[in-house]
């Protein structure tokens, strides 16, 4: 990982070339070689997946990590899996995405004032990064938020892992995180003072475990993103 000041496009390129975590490198490349039967004819991305969205975004969406046969296959966050289907439908419904589905890097999808990223950029075995892998990858997220800082006004965090990973990064980037640290919860809303106030919102992750059981419904997701868009000035 590098701490040299660069553009967001240059950062995305550097992220996609990272090999800092041996376990993640081995896993993501193994998945890309063996593939899932449904995608046997496709060439998997098989590398770290950079963030996606404009460099002047005022809203960020922070997930967990790419899915083995989603982002790790397509090379774009939340693209090509059922979690992404739910997420992009909600973003489209509230006017933050140009289309309701995301199937490949070349499908023409655009995000409006919104950037999607994650605290871990490689697909982890069993969707469980280790604390060491999270910490190793945190520098990328810190640089990304630093580049977004002039325009960033709100962040939606999908799940408790992302919430816990993000708070120290926000503190490092100059926002004031209260002590004790605010707890994650769906609908949680914390305002962090800093160069400009940052609205931090919690939302259950769009995993199938949550969406298939009804713990997270499309209406709940639309409500969070509609609120976030308003706070970010994206009405």
pLDDT (0 to 100) of residue 5: 66
> Mind listing the pLDDT tens digit for each residue in 54-93?
999 999 999 999 999 999 999 999 999 999 999 999 999 9
* CA atoms of 38 and 55, how far apart (whole Å): 34
pLDDT of 167-187, one tens digit each?
999 998 889 999 999 999 999
Q: What was the pLDDT predicted at 6?
A: 87
Whether the upstream peptide bond of residue 180 has omega within 30° of 0, thus cis, is: yes
Topology of domain 8-231, CATH = Uracil-DNA Glycosylase, subunit E (3.40.470)
Q: What is the pLDDT of residue 194?
A: 87
pTM: 0.95
pLDDT of amino acid 198:
97
3-state SS record for 18-80: CCCCHHHHHHHHHHHHHCCHHHCCCCCCCCCCCCECCCCCCEEEECCCCCCCCHHHHCCCCCC
| Regions in the chain scoring below 70 on pLDDT | 1-5
């Amino acid at each position: 990982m590098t701490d040299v000041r660069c553009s967001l496009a240059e950062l995305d390129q550097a992220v996609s070339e990272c090999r800092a975590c041996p376990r993640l490198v081995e896993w993501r490349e193994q998945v890309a070689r063996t593939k899932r039967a449904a995608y046997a004819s496709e060439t998997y991305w098989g590398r770290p997946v950079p963030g996606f969205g404009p460099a002047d975004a005022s809203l960020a969406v922070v997930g967990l990590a790419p899915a083995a046969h989603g982002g790790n296959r397509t090379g774009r966050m939340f693209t090509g899996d059922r979690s992404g289907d739910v997420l992009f439908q909600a973003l489209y419904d509230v006017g933050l995405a140009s289309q309701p589905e995301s199937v490949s890097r070349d499908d023409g999808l655009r995000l409006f004032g919104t950037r999607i990223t994650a605290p871990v950029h490689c697909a982890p075995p069993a969707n469980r990064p280790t604390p060491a892998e999270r910490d190793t990858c945190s520098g990328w997220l810190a640089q990304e938020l630093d580049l977004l800082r002039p325009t960033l006004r709100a962040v939606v965090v999908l799940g408790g892992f992302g919430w816990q990973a993000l708070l120290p990064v926000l503190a490092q980037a100059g926002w004031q995180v209260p002590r004790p640290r605010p707890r994650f919860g769906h609908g949680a809303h914390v305002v962090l003072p800093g160069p400009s106030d940052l609205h931090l919102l919690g939302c259950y992750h769009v995993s199938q475990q949550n969406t298939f059981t009804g713990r997270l419904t499309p209406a709940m997701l639309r409500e969070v993103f509609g609120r976030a868009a308003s706070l970010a000035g994206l009405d």
